[in-house]
Each structure stands twice: as C-alpha cells, then as structure tokens.
C-alpha cells in the first residue's frame, strides 16, 4: 500500500515539475522580430534587401540578440530554396539592451537563389519572425546590344498565397531525416522521416492578440528498422510518433555569454501498429528545455533533457524501467561542419545510447551535393519500441542524412 502511495507521489511530483518548467518558460518577457518587405525593387535573380525590426513592447528593458545574417527559407508553388542575407552594415555587437517601448531596425542584403520567381513565401529559419509573401518576377532576355531593366516588384506589395505555398510555408524540419545501413545480425537498415506543421501563421489576426499561438505545432516522426537479410526483406519494427506541442527556440538569452534557452513541451504518442503480444504503445506528457551554448551558426553545444510523464503504457507497463524518465539530447557541432548528436536513456533495469556523427556532403563534393554523410552507433535496450526490454547486439551503420 505504501509503495502505491509512494509511486503516486512521485508521479504527482514529476507532473508538477513539468507544469512549472513549462509555465515559467512560456511567461518570459521577450522582444518581437518583425520582417519587413523590401524597401526598394527586387528581382528573382538579383539582389534583395529586407529589414528586420526588433521591438520591445514590454515595460522593462530586454537584452536582444542582433543576428549577423538571416537564414531564409523560400517556397514557391513547386519548390523550396534556402538563402542567407548578411547584415549591412555588420552589427558592432551581438547583443544590445532594448529600452521599453522602443525598436531597432537592421538591414540585410544578399542574392536570391537561381530559379526563384512568382509568388514566394519568405520565412526566417533561426529566429521567430513573421513570414512575407512577395511576387518576384524574372528579368526578360536582353537583345544583343541592348540593356533591359529588370521588371520591378513594388515595395511592400504582396501576392495572395496559393494553397500549395501556404502549406509549404507552414512545414519545417523536426527530428533528423536519414537512411543508414548496417551488418550486425545480418544486413539491416534504419531510416527516419520527420516534419512539423505550424498551426497558426505569424501574421494571423488571432496571433496578434494571443502571441503564443504561433508556437503551436503538430509533429510527426517515423522510425523503421528494416531486415535486409531475410528473403522477403520485411520491416522488423516501425515506431509512429505524432505529437502536439508548443515550441519556442528563444525564450531567454544571457547577454554577452551566448547562452540561449528554448523550450518544447506537449503531448506525444508512440506505437508500432502491431497487435497481440507484439503490440507496443505509450502516451506521454513532456517538457524539453533546450540550452544552447555558443552561436548556433558556429561551433556550439546544445543540451536538451526531455522530462517525461507516462500517461498510458498498458501494452508495456515496465517501459519506464528501461527508458527512464529523461531523454538526454546533446549536440556538439557547427552548421557547415561536423556535428555529433547523442541520445541517452537510463532506467533502473536498462540503458541505451545512440550517437550520430555527420558531415556536409557539399564540403566533400565541391558544393555539388546536398545532405550529410552519417555514421550512427547504437548500444543498449530498445532500439525499437518492440525491443524496449531487450538488448540486442550493438549496431554501427553508415548512411545519408538529409536533414540533421
């Protein structure tokens, strides 16, 4: 009886901690980043100039980061592109104090990727800002001996987004996407697909009234183990992981020390879609504070412990004994160089370690290939949810990572 009371008390304590961390991080005062349309004409194959306005609408000073460049995601009706604009002039300091009820503007300039034209949705990748929808026109082919001025875009004019561009602009990366092959216990493969969908656009009227709505997402990750050695090459197990969550990459930063706190928290489900004795499923509530030390575009360290409360685990009631109550996610790397990511779990009866080492293919293929070459190592219990209480031989796999 006392054991049941103690277990209930521990569960209540974990729930209280989850709620406290989530409420604290959601309530931190922060500045708003507003992306303004071009102040002059722009063309798809030429230079573009955007202005980022940072506002402090609170009643207290706020230390804000001044990005040295804007990493952008451009989506058309059929394609998506990445682009970077540099601050012009470069900021003298990385962090400034913004007085109450004031703002600061920074201009960013650069070249648009080849092939960007028509209705284009522009979103920032590393900071939380509104999206822009612009109509960009290609230049016409000049006749020999003549000079043709590019067809301008009226400053500030926006074209109505199409359903496809609106959908693409709401999609973004979530967990890594990869395909890797190993040979332990016969040839096998592991691959993962993942994305997240933003429910409310940043410029929606409701978001202007209730700001945190722009941070609500649906996420989905699917991880499969593929038995390539058997005659029919069946899938050994697949984990389906939908989530509803709040995510904010920058709720707080420490001025001058390049330390940033982000947060993710919500509800998650994981199951393998099997029946009978092979059925596995859990429902969880979780909070994941994300501590980043250093500039995310340079060498940096990220530590993100995911605190878990199991809401339902009837198919596998002892899964917490092997997974524990914290997923330790640790990343060390640089955007255009090496990156080492680790996932560590430790329960009272088991542990697991997964390490992913990746390097951009552009660096070894003279800029001709996208993606990353990856080396993955796994050891411990539960590489798939089917084997949550079983330790199989460690695995070393080599593969291609599309998103990291």
Query: Is residue 134 situated within a structural domain?
Result: yes
Query: Is residue 165 situated within a structural domain?
Result: no
Query: Is residue 97 situated within a structural domain?
Result: yes
One domain, residues 384 and 278: yes
One domain, residues 49 and 20: no
The pLDDT score that the predictor gives to residue 143 is 43
Q: What Å distances lie between residue 343 and 110, 259, 289, 349, CA to CA?
A: 37, 21, 15, 18
SS3 assignment, position 46: coil
Query: Is residue 147 situated within a structural domain?
Result: no
One domain, residues 9 and 87: no
Residue 53 tokens read as 């306005």
One domain, residues 39 and 90: yes
Q: Which of 110, 115, 39, 107 is nearest to 79 (CA)?
A: 115
Tell which phi-psi region holds residue 384, choosing left (phi > 0), alpha (psi between -120 and 50) or beta: beta
The pLDDT score that the predictor gives to residue 156 is 41
One domain, residues 16 and 46: no
One domain, residues 236 and 381: yes
One domain, residues 268 and 347: yes
Query: In sequence order, which residues have a C-beta less than 8 Å from that of residue 183 and are 6 or more positions away?
Result: none
Query: In sequence order, which residues have a C-beta less than 8 Å from that of residue 89 and are 6 or more positions away?
Result: none
The pLDDT score that the predictor gives to residue 19 is 53
Query: Is residue 124 situated within a structural domain?
Result: yes
One domain, residues 309 and 393: yes
One domain, residues 299 and 393: yes
Query: Is residue 167 situated within a structural domain?
Result: no
Q: What is the CATH number of the domain that holds 104?
A: 2.60.40
The pLDDT score that the predictor gives to residue 280 is 97
Q: What is the CATH number of the domain that holds 276?
A: 2.40.230.10
Query: Is residue 386 situated within a structural domain?
Result: yes
The pLDDT score that the predictor gives to residue 151 is 39
Distance in angstroms (rounded) separating the CA atoms of residues 275 and 283 = 17
The domain of 379 spans 2-27+173-403
The pLDDT score that the predictor gives to residue 91 is 85
Of 137, 194, 271, 279, the active-site residue reads 271
269 labelled catalytic? yes
One domain, residues 196 and 311: yes
| pLDDT lower than 70: segments of the chain | 1-30, 39-45, 137-161, 255-256
Tally of structural domains, the chain = 2
Query: ∠372-373-377 over CA atoms, to 5°?
Result: 120
Of 68, 158, 172, 269, the active-site residue reads 269
The pLDDT score that the predictor gives to residue 2 is 41
Distance in angstroms (rounded) separating the CA atoms of residues 215 and 188 = 38
One domain, residues 14 and 44: no
One domain, residues 121 and 253: no
Residue 40 tokens read as 């002059």
Query: Is residue 145 situated within a structural domain?
Result: no
């Amino acid at each position: 009886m006392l054991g049941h009371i103690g277990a209930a008390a521990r569960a209540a304590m974990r729930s209280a901690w989850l709620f406290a961390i989530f409420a604290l991080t959601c309530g931190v005062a922060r500045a708003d980043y507003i992306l303004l349309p071009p102040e002059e004409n722009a063309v798809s194959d030429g230079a573009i100039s955007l202005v980022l306005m940072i506002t402090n609408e609170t009643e207290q000073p706020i230390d804000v980061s001044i990005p040295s460049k804007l990493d952008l995601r451009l989506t058309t009706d059929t394609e998506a592109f990445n682009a970077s604009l540099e601050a012009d002039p470069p900021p003298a300091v990385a962090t400034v104090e913004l007085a109450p009820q004031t703002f600061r503007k920074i201009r960013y300039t650069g070249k648009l990727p080849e092939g960007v034209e028509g209705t284009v949705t522009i979103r920032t990748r590393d900071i939380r800002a509104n999206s822009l929808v612009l109509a960009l026109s290609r230049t016409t082919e000049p006749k020999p001996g003549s000079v043709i001025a590019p067809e301008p875009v009226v400053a500030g004019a926006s074209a109505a987004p199409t359903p496809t561009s609106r959908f693409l602009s709401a999609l973004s990366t979530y967990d890594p996407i990869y395909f890797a092959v190993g040979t332990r216990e016969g040839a096998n493969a592991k691959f993962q697909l993942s994305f997240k969908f933003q429910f409310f656009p940043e410029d929606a009227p409701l978001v202007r009234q209730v700001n945190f709505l722009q941070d609500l997402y649906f996420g989905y990750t699917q991880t499969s183990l593929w038995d390539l050695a058997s005659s029919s090459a069946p899938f050994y197990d697949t984990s389906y992981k939908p989530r509803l969550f709040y995510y904010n990459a920058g709720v707080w930063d420490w001025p001058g020390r390049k330390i940033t706190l982000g947060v993710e928290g919500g509800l998650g489900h994981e199951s393998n879609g099997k029946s009978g004795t092979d059925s596995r499923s859990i429902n969880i509530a979780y909070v994941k504070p994300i501590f980043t030390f250093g500039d995310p575009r340079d060498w940096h360290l990220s530590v993100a412990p995911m605190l878990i409360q199991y809401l339902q685990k009837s198919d596998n009631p002892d899964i917490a004994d092997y997974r524990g109550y914290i997923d330790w996610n640790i990343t060390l790397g640089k955007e255009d160089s090496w990156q080492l990511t680790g996932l560590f779990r430790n329960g009272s009866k088991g542990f697991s370690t997964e390490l992913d080492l990746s390097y951009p293919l552009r660096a070894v293929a003279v800029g001709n290939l996208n993606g990353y070459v990856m080396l993955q190592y796994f050891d411990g219990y539960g590489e798939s949810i089917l084997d949550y209480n079983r330790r199989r031989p460690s695995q070393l796999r080599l593969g291609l990572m599309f998103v990291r």
